[in-house]
Structure 1
Amino acid sequence: MTARLPSLNGLRAFEAAARHLSFTHAATELNVTQTAISHQIKRLEQELGIRLFVRQNRALTLTKQAKEYLPGIRAAFNDLRLATDRLLRRENDHVLTISTLASLAAKWLLPRLSAFQEAHPGIDVRITTSTSLVDFGSGDVDAAIRYGRGQWPGLRADWLMADQLFPVCSPALLSGSKPLRCPEDLAHHVLLHSTNNDDDWRLWLTAAGLPTTIAKQHGVTFDLILMVVQAAIDGIGVAIGRTSYVQDDIAKGRLVVPFDITLPADAGFYLVSPAGAADSPKLSAFRQWLVASVQNRS
């Protein structure tokens, strides 16, 4: 004969109280009163015919039987949580959440995203922007597009593209009152900087054989590359462009490349995802489309 299962509320109260060794803390966690926890524990003890807790000098301890019972109860609740998580994940199989940098999203990804939506109308893409590392354990993000060298332990990193560094500016600066005709002319122009890429100018100036002190002259600094690019378009100054951020503006004539000197970056952009979920149908579809988009970029 199968034994009747005890009250689920009683088991929840027992697990929480045993974990905290406190009825008060268990009540707070479960959003009930301490009296309710006491009643649920008492009822559970009556159902089981076993004493579970002992009060000693205002301290709460587990009986020997409770210590033996607890691991199984805790494992059962973990199984319930995992089963529920798997169920909800299946319900959200059509939702794909991608984390990326705000500037890359605005200047490169979003203008191309409609092509993916047309090819995969059943996948609901959600873009979130952040400069922080993604906590994939939270389950809120499926994959991230990040800049680096592809070394993220425990994660799958798929190479997307490298960036070249080179100055860009508005076409108006080429023939303004201080024409920008050679790299030495930069000494007479406002340089635009980003706090996230504050070393780009120094690297390029070194490659061009110019003193790096030029990078320290009067300039304007922004906290987002997106703002740096827009300031260059508006003719405020000269920016260091990265291929992924400026190629569309160059193609449309909003920006020009005044010099032939480019500097290859020693890192690049990767699509990063948890190894265990990297081959899910929605993420595989996005990865294939993204890699193809990079290969076909102008």
Structure 2
Amino acid sequence: MIGPRRLLPSMPALLALEAVDRLATVSAAAQELSLTQGAVSRALQGLEGQLGVALFVRERQRLRLTPAAQDYVRHVRVHLTGLSQASLRLRTNPGGGGLSLAILPAFGVQWLAPRLPDFARANPGVTVHLSTRLRPFDFAAEGFDAAIHFGRADWPGAEHLLLLEEVVLPVCAPAVMPEPVTEAEALLALPLLQLESRPGAWGRYLAQQGLPGQRPVGMVFDQFATMIQAAIHGLGVALLPEFLIQDALRDGQLVPAWPARGHGLGSYYLVWPRDVPPRPPLIAFRDWIAAQAG
């Protein structure tokens, strides 16, 4: 049930409030909204008058929201985002068959994307919208139906479906290692490539091979894709999830530097909000991806 209509601000007023909070000046908000400064100021004054509450502390040429207004605009931003997402889903899928999914870049490109045509063939009425997110987020704030999560089954307020347990393998270009190493310790003599978000990955892997306490250093990358290319071009040995390098191993661009697999930091999950009844497109996607991962 909608509350008293007298407390429902206009959309222009809410957009002006959100923009001024984010950009800190009326002039910047006006430029983003393609309005005059006077129009933005009038919208804000009208909002304060309607709510009967002062929303800003005015400091020279800048506006600073009061603590109460800061809390208010957080709620406003959540609902504006939700309205935008709902409008996008309606526009692109008038029949209600849209699914908004947040994905991890490497998993999305290497594992999910090659399989999506099968989902599209089986579910022609569902259009999947993919957006990259590297870290967990608030489902209510972002408006996604589901997300691909890496780590443990610990996303608060979410249901989890295990997709893939990560297995890692040290690999390099054939030219980096003309002769296979005969023991894991020999890896320490080779240039090791590392991922910025997983600084202890080599130490964990070497401990699994019976070499605890190692903290090797090496060239650092911020994305798996970049590190894979660096390994292919001979910059060193990369510790990579096996599912990301199957093609490169098959084609001979990469070879195992040491044959033992290791356990990664976590697993890949499909997660969706627990307190929101899943829509038919999500149910169809969940059942399909469970079969793919099975």
Instruction: Give the TM interval when normalised to the shorter protein.
Output: 0.5 to 0.7
Partner of 2:216: 215
Change (3 A) 1:291 1:251: farther
Mark the CA change 1:113 to 1:87 in structure 2 (over 3 Å): closer, same or farther.
closer
- The question of whether the paired residues in 1 share the 8 Å contact of 2:207 and 2:214 is answered with no
In 2, the alpha carbon distance for the partners of 1:215 and 1:169 equals 17
Structure 2 alignment gaps of length 5 or more: 18-36, 53-79
**Structure 1 residue 126 corresponds to structure 2 residue 129:** yes
Amino acid at match of 1:137: A
State the partner residue of 1:193: 194
Work out whether 1:241 is the aligned partner of 2:266: no
Deviation at 1:288, TM superposition (A): 1.7
Q: Secondary structure at 1:250's aligned position in 2?
A: helix
DSSP-derived class of the 1:184 partner: helix
Instruction: Report the residue type matching 2:289 in the other structure.
Output: L
8 Å CA contact retained: 2:193, 2:219: yes
Equivalent of residue 148 in structure 1, options 135, 151, 159: 151
Q: TM-score, with normalisation over the residues of structure 1? A: 0.65
One-letter amino acid of the structure 2 residue matched with residue 281 of structure 1: P
Q: Which moved more, 1:102-111 or 1:180-189?
A: 180-189
The correspondence for 1:33, drawn from 15, 39, 42, is: 42
- Structure 1 residue 158: Cα displacement: 1.1
Partner of 1:206: 207
Question: Is residue 2:113 matched to residue 1:110?
Answer: yes
Distance 1:121 1:163 in 2: 31
After superposition, where does 1:164-175 map in structure 2 within 5 Å?
A: 164-175=167-178
Counterpart CA distance in 2 for 1:9 and 1:250 is 65
Point out the more displaced range, 282-291 or 130-139. Answer: 130-139
| Structure 1 contact 162–268 (Cα < 8 Å) conserved | yes
Cα distance in 1 for residues equivalent to 2:186 and 2:246: 23
Give the C-alpha shift of residue 89 in structure 1: 8.4
Contact preservation (8 Å) 2:227, 2:238: yes
1:29-69 deviations in Å (ceiling 9; x for gaps): x95837x959x98xxxxxxxxxx98xxxxxxxxxxxxxxxx
Query: What corresponds to 2:263 in structure 1?
Result: 264
Alignment-derived partner of residue 46 in structure 1: none
| Identity, % of aligned positions | 31
**Cα drift, residue 220 of structure 1:** 1.0
User: Counterpart in 2 of 1:224?
Assistant: 223
Q: Is the 8 A contact 2:136 2:155 kept in 1?
A: no
Superposed, 1:25-64 pairs within 5 Å as: 33=42, 37=46
Normalising by structure 2, report the TM-score.
0.66
Once residues 10 and 274 of structure 1 are traced to their aligned partners in structure 2, the CA distance between those partners, rounded to angstroms, is 29
Distance 1:103 1:220 in 2: 19
Aligned to 2:104: 101
Q: Are the equivalent residues in 1 in contact too, given 2:237–2:257 (CA < 8 A)?
A: no
Cα distance in 2 for partners of 1:145, 1:134 equals 11
Contact 1:189 1:238 in 2 (8 A): yes
How far apart are the structure 2 equivalents of 1:212 and 1:149?
24
Bigger radius of gyration: 1
Alpha-carbon contact 2:181-2:258 (below 8 Å) kept: no
**Alpha carbons of 1:272 and 1:31: their partners in 2 closer, same or farther (altered >3 Å)?**
same
Structure 1's unaligned 5+ residue stretches are 1-7, 21-27, 42-51, 54-80
Q: Which residue of 2 aligns with 1:57?
A: none
What CA distance in whole angstroms lies between the structure 2 residues aligned with 1:153 and 1:240? 30
Report the CA distance shift for 1:282/1:252 in structure 2 as closer, same or farther (over 3 A).
farther
Which residue number corresponds to residue 284 of structure 2?
Answer: 285
Shift of 1:9: 8.1
Q: Alpha-carbon deviation of 1:117?
A: 2.0
Q: Once the 2 structures are TM-superposed, how far is the Cα of residue 212 of structure 1 from its aligned partner?
A: 4.6
**Cα distance in structure 2, aligned partners of 1:154 and 1:206:** 34
**Residue type of the alignment partner of 2:97:** H
Which residue identity is paired with 1:152?
Answer: W
| Aligned residue-pair number | 235
